Chains A and B, each alone.
Chain A
């Protein structure tokens, strides 16, 4: 009986050891995962955990970048709005500077020699010698009484405009914005019609002009599109003057 038991033990041990050897060999010769020497379950779990953490970090990075992108897009949008505002400001400044035509209620004043007024030759000779001063006076009265845009014979008056009498030996003419104009002088003024008319009356300009043998015909255009004053077309101050450093 013991001999039989020993024999069975040997055979069983042989079979189990063979199976164990086979399993161990297979396990040892099994290929390791690509890019890693670890095949352990725990190592794999650790790797998965690390990858999950990295995934979370990358997702956070993506959200940060998306927020930054949205910020840039918003900034780009506001830049567009800024450009629109700047363009609107530019248009407004151009209008105020006289670089655009202006339409609105206004008056026209026509100044021209009129023999019927009965002025003496000496009186009539006075205006051609002082035309620039008188035109200047009229313009000042108009600007001081609600005029927002004025032009003389189509020459728009701006901040740098000049009204000069250029004469040599009695020959010459009035220059507005450096350009010669001839009689009749037609002054166009857009603004508060009633106020401008009142200003002219108060300063008795019509009387002075008529005393010098000049008609001073004021016509009112009270409707909203009654009068259009042309834009300034001459050189701008910035053409020569540049911004200084100090």
Chain B
């Protein structure tokens, strides 16, 4: 079952290449910030799963909402002449790195727990 996300990624990339969707040049910056928001949500989801607090409904709604709101925020900022784009970049960027740091610690903790478990198993034997 764990190969499914990899397949999903391949399908997504394939769809992107096959459909050949053309994004107007003016909207490419909005798509970029939307991708950043999506990445933030995905990393947040991984962290939540490691924290055992993952909720698929929250994750899915967060993924699409964050993506759309980030793009909308960038668009509004552009219309108003305010760099809300940068605000979104900073906010999502900071959260992204924080989540990655938490995930890293979780991974280290898991690795250490496994080592301890292995040693304890070897001492029992």
The reply to whether A23 and B74 contact each other, CB–CB distance below 8 Å, is no
| CB neighbors of B among A19-46 (8 A) | 19-27, 29-33, 39-42, 44
The reply to whether A16 and B25 contact each other, CB–CB distance below 8 Å, is no
Measured as residues with beta carbon below 8 angstroms from the partner, the interface class of chain A is 20 to 34
CB nearest to A14 among chain B residues = B8
Residue numbers in A under 8 Å from B120 (CB-CB): none
Q: Binding site of A, secondary structure by majority: helix, strand, loop or mixed?
A: helix
Q: Binding site of B, secondary structure by majority: helix, strand, loop or mixed?
A: helix
B9 is contacted by which of A5, A6, A17 (Cβ under 8 Å)?
A: A17
The reply to whether B60 and A12 contact each other, CB–CB distance below 8 Å, is yes
Q: How far is the CA of A19 from the CA of B5 in the complex (A)?
A: 11
| CB neighbors of A among B4-48 (8 A) | 4-13, 15-17, 20-23, 25, 28-29, 31-32, 34-35, 38-39, 41-42, 45
The reply to whether A19 and B45 contact each other, CB–CB distance below 8 Å, is no
- Chain B 47-90 against A: per-residue CB contact (8 Å), 1 yes, 0 no? 00100001010011001000100000010001000000110000
CB nearest to B12 among chain A residues = A21
CB nearest to B13 among chain A residues = A21
The reply to whether B9 and A18 contact each other, CB–CB distance below 8 Å, is yes
Asked if B121 is at the interface of the complex by the 8 Å CB criterion, the answer is no
The reply to whether B16 and A25 contact each other, CB–CB distance below 8 Å, is yes
Residue numbers in B under 8 Å from A17 (CB-CB): 5-6, 8-9, 12, 42
A39 is contacted by which of B22, B28, B78 (Cβ under 8 Å)?
A: B28
- Chain A 3-14 against B: per-residue CB contact (8 Å), 1 yes, 0 no? 001111111111
Measured as residues with beta carbon below 8 angstroms from the partner, the interface class of chain B is 35 or more
Q: How far is the CA of A62 from the CA of B68 in the complex (A)?
A: 46
Asked if A217 is at the interface of the complex by the 8 Å CB criterion, the answer is no
User: Closest Cβ of chain A: how far from B102's Cβ, in Å?
Assistant: 17
Asked if A65 is at the interface of the complex by the 8 Å CB criterion, the answer is no
The reply to whether B8 and A13 contact each other, CB–CB distance below 8 Å, is yes
A13 is contacted by which of B5, B13, B23, B38 (Cβ under 8 Å)?
A: B5
The reply to whether B78 and A41 contact each other, CB–CB distance below 8 Å, is yes
The reply to whether B85 and A41 contact each other, CB–CB distance below 8 Å, is yes
Q: How far is the CA of A61 from the CA of B21 in the complex (A)?
A: 44
Sample of 22 A–B contacts (CB below 8 Å): A13-B8, A13-B45, A15-B8, A16-B8, A16-B38, A16-B41, A16-B45, A16-B59, A17-B5, A18-B8, A18-B15, A20-B9, A20-B42, A21-B10, A21-B12, A21-B13, A21-B15, A22-B13, A29-B17, A39-B25, A41-B74, A44-B29
A-to-B contact residues, CB < 8 Å: 5-27, 29-33, 39-42, 44
